[in-house]
Amino acid sequence: MSMLRLVTFVLASVICVQAHVAAWTKGMYCRNGLSDKNEPNSGWAAVPVWNLRRDEWFMHGECRKYPPPDGEFLEIPANGHFFAELSSNRAFTHLSYNGALVTGWGDGKHHDDDYSVEKPGGFPLSGSGCIGSPNLHAKRESDAAGTVFAIAYKSDIEDIEMDELAVFTVAPNTPFKLNARYDVPNLPECPAGGCICAWGWVPNHCGQANVYMHPYRCKVTNARPDARPPARARPPVWCEGNPEGCMRGAKQMVIAHQAEGNNVVLSGKQADGSWKSPGYNAKMGFAPGAQHDIFDDPYADGEPVPTCADEIAVGDAPQAPFGIYSDALCH
């Protein structure tokens, strides 16, 4: 098939509504969607999780049944960095068509570096007035909420608790362009069967309050013999405008807007006047880059752990706009 015919075929067959964004790398689960067959034009990994039971949202639910090929891992270089391709569809990454449809953007199209709602370059905005292609849930790069990878030092994806899954890197102001860089702290070596990693994203509005959690089989390379494992991860807490109130040390991935299992439940509005959006940024105590503070427990000596007070069962809570449960006293 010629390049022109390939481009025409793929663009015609990609689902019309952009399927948000996922991190496409080796070692990912659901590379082919919910299929064991090779599906180079798959966008299922980019489907968000919202209002689901734990078994449905944890590690992207059904994706746990579709692991990567035996022996394939996402390689995490200790004290280095790695890249992931943030795209709405596998077709627009180097995992399909030998990279023939890859541009600098996750929709396989071409945009200016200052692509924004002010400079959309002829592309229509989303229904919420934000960048529509790809569906970044942002108005411009500075508005992108940040994405993360977390790691659990276990090889069985079904044997992981949230406090064993520590966020170890934050890519600020992503997703935006296709390539995102993730810096890595001094992680130790994984067990013989590898580790389980997860990619996460909580958009800053621009549509429904979605959450993303996608699994990968990963392994740490270039690990130093004296490297220590991450401490037990705790839920992050809202601390916008109050850095002293942020959770320090190893933090869990943000789970919000689900039918059960939320570890972040917020009420009220954030500084810009919109409903609180618990993204992977300073509002939730996440610094950009490698998370060097995950190896020690800063509360081991009895210092009070920051928390949201007086939360009630999520299933009993009324819902605020955007699906944010209004049952907690985090301010």
33-84 pLDDT, tens digit per residue, is: 999 999 999 999 999 999 999 999 999 999 999 999 999 999 999 999 999 9
Owner of token pair 């449905």: 56
Q: What is the pLDDT of residue 19?
A: 60
Query: Read out DSSP for 52-115?
Result: --HHHHGGGGGGGGSPPPTT--EEEETTSEEEEEEESSGGGSTTSGGGTT--SBTTSS---TT-
Task: Compute the half-sphere exposure of residue 282: CA atoms within 13 Å on the CB side of its CA.
Answer: 9
In a domain, 319, yes or no: no
Q: What is the pLDDT of residue 307?
A: 77
Query: Read out DSSP for 86-103?
Result: EESSGGGSTTSGGGTT--
The structure tokens listed for 327 are 């049952």
Contact predicate 23/215, CB 8 Å: no
Residue 11: pLDDT above 60?
no
Residue 3: pLDDT above 60?
no
Q: 116 is in which domain, residue-wise? A: 18-310
Residue 56 to residue 17: CA distance in whole angstroms: 23
In a domain, 166, yes or no: yes
User: Mean per-residue pLDDT for 167-196?
Assistant: 99
In a domain, 323, yes or no: no
Q: Report pLDDT digits (tens) over 195-235.
A: 999 999 999 888 888 899 999 999 999 999 999 999 999 99
The structure tokens listed for 47 are 């489907």
In a domain, 94, yes or no: yes
In a domain, 9, yes or no: no
Residue 324: pLDDT above 60?
no
Q: What is the pLDDT of residue 329?
A: 37
Q: What is the pLDDT of residue 308?
A: 60
Query: How high does pLDDT run on average in the chain?
Result: 89
In a domain, 297, yes or no: yes
Number of domains composing the chain: 1
In a domain, 317, yes or no: no
Q: What phi and psi values does residue 76 have, to the nearest 5 degrees? A: -110, 105
E-assigned strands of 172-318? 179-183, 195-201, 212-221, 289-290
Alpha-carbon distances of 116 from 35, 126, 175, 229, rounded to whole Å? 35, 12, 13, 40
Q: Report pLDDT digits (tens) over 115-124.
A: 999 999 999 9
In a domain, 318, yes or no: no
Least confident of 88-97, 151-160, 193-202, 261-270: 261-270
pLDDT band at 318 (very low <50, low <70, confident <90, very high): very low
Contact predicate 124/131, CB 8 Å: no
Q: What is the pLDDT of residue 322?
A: 34
Contact predicate 324/257, CB 8 Å: yes
